[in-house]
Amino acid sequence: MSEATKDKITWRVLFIVFCSSMVILLSMGTRQSFGLFQTPISEAFGIGIVAFSLSLALQNLIWGISQPIIGAIADKFGSGRVIAVAGAFQSLGLLWLAYADQIWELHASAGILIGITGAGTTWAVLMSVIARNVPPNRRSLFFGIASGTGTGGQILLAPLNQFTINTYGWQEALLILAVMLLLTIPLAYILRGKNSDVAKEHAETLRQALNRARKHSGYLLLSTGFFVCGFHVMFIMAHLPTYLQNQNMPDWLPGVAISMIGITNLLGTILAGYLGDKYSKKYLLSAIYFLRALVITVFIIVPLTSTSVLVFCFFIGFLWLATVPLTNALVGQIFGIRYLATLSGIVFCAHQLGAFASVWMGGYLFDTLGSYDLVWQIAIALGILAALIHLPINESETLPASATAAK
């Protein structure tokens, strides 16, 4: 029997949330550490960073595109199998990368294989696991806790990987990561199951669920908002260091700035999840996007100093992934949890399209115009747009056609 049917939190529920969080931590911590390998791998191959940068860009794009496909597989065959297979092949991808000696192997391993398998060990599949095991009125909070562990991976694994690279070398560091990722396999056994086993929704096929979502205007608006989220997050993550260097900021500042975002993101994501169980999720999302636009506006208006950068990162970090638990919880609230992995996967695909667009646009406009001013302005405009389009979303649960006909 699912714990989601009870209005209380048991130790079993907490253990499942913990195991889900550990899978996300291992997977996201690995992905967020790839930047540390960029220089040593490029030097080992005797090439510029552009080749491995392309591998990472492919990884992000394929990761997003794969989310709804992997989510649909998890909805049909169960999350445990998907997590175990994805974790094993993600580990294999790291092993392949460690012993690659051709540039195409960089793209195939770090780009394609890890991009696809990462979809099975992150947001859509793991949020679906949590959704079926926690009470509906606590989903947003536990989504926030699990989402925040992605930052935990950034905080914990990035320094560990830097240490192993410096001490043993980049290949050995990848092998250590590959072994760590194998821990997802026993965790997958604990997280096995299907949402259809516990969902209360009326019988509905995946095609019917997708058609119901397609006809719901709120689903398109949520996806559009998540596109903006991806645009903001990846532009800042990818280009803030270059922006600061271009402005002749101290060499220590970019690393500290990114770390500041990671720390405050952990707090902000959990807080957003907590508030999502108590207040309207669409209004919280609208407020987050508006505050993002406001914080970015203030940042580019005030004189640029080390203090202003750290203050910016402190506040933008609170808003960083605060959209994740609220968006996933709202999808489950409107459409139910039976096909949550698939429906959330599609929304997340929009996030990664926004991420890809911002990384490419930032580089293109910087090379063309010599500054990031226009991209910052676009980010502000998109933040305001996202804040507005969440307001008309109908948060009420929709019923499948079979249920409507029965009435």
Q: What is the pLDDT of residues 57-100, one digit of tens each?
A: 888 889 999 999 999 999 889 999 999 999 999 999 999 999 99
Which of 47-51, 195-199, 218-222 has maximum average pLDDT?
218-222
Residue 339's alpha-carbon distances to 62, 125, 131, 142, 335, in angstroms, are 21, 10, 11, 19, 8
The CA-atom distances, in angstroms, between 15 and each of 3, 18, 146, 289, 375 are: 12, 5, 12, 32, 43
> How many angstroms separate the CA atoms of 114 and 265, rounded?
24
**Fold of domain 3-392:** Growth Hormone; Chain: A; (1.20.1250)
* pLDDT of the residue at 163: 87
> Which of the four pLDDT bands, split at 50, 70 and 90, describes residue 14?
very high
- Backbone φ and ψ for 349, nearest 5 degrees, come out as -60, -40
Q: What pLDDT, on the 0 to 100 scale, is given for residue 4?
A: 46
Q: How far is CA 116 from CA 112, 121, 134, 176, 239, in A?
A: 6, 10, 28, 21, 25
Mean pLDDT (whole number) for 270-299: 97
Question: How far is it, in rounded angstroms, from Cα 108 to Cα 287?
Answer: 40
pLDDT of 2 > 50? The answer is: no
Domain map (residue ranges) of the chain: 3-392
What is the separation, in whole angstroms, between the first and last Cα of the chain?
A: 28
Predicted local confidence at residue 401, as pLDDT: 60
Our measurement of the distance from residue 257's CA atom to the centroid of its chain's CA atoms, rounded to an integer in Å, reads 20
pTM, full prediction: 0.84
Residue 117, number of CB atoms within 10 A of its CB: 27
User: How does pLDDT run across 320-356, given as a tens digit for each residue?
Assistant: 999 999 999 999 999 988 898 999 999 999 998 998 8
Note the pLDDT tens digit of each residue in 147-190. 887 777 777 887 888 889 889 999 999 999 999 999 999 999 99
What is the tens place of the pLDDT at every residue in 115-152?
999 999 988 899 999 998 998 889 999 999 988 877 77
Rounded percentage of the chain residues whose pLDDT exceeds 90: 59
Average pLDDT, the chain: 89
